[in-house]
Amino acid sequence: MIPLGPGVLILAIIALLQNKQYKVLWGLTIVFTLINIIYFPVYFLPTNTSFADQTIEVSAVSEELNNWLSYHWQRIFFASGALVTSILAISKTMVEGNNN
């Protein structure tokens, strides 16, 4: 997670700076990626650590796993959104390049 998320974010920012014509799509890609990244230090890192260190109360494990799964699906949604918007920006750029 650590190298991939920020790496994708940096590439999306570079793409935005080089291709301002599709700034809305690249902007959405950046926002979706940033939201996805934020989930890790805010929720997943401490929660996964509590599981690994066995510091979570046994009675809370079931509910926390449900929360974990819910947040995981949210991250999948944002990652998918970033993927779709970046593909749209790239494909529009390629079509435009072929028309010139």
pTM: 0.87
- pLDDT(55) > 80: yes
Q: What is the model's pLDDT at position 100? A: 62
For residues 55, 64, 29, 86, the Cα torsion angle rounded to the nearest 10 degrees is: 100
pLDDT confidence bin for 69, thresholds 50/70/90: very high
- pLDDT(96) > 90: no
Query: In the chain, what are the domain boundaries?
Result: 4-99
Longest dimension (CA), the chain: 63
The residue count of the chain comes to 100
- pLDDT(50) > 70: yes
The answer to whether the beta carbons of residues 75 and 39 sit under 8 Å apart is yes
Record the tokens describing residue 89, joined without a space: 């920006």
Average pLDDT, the chain: 93
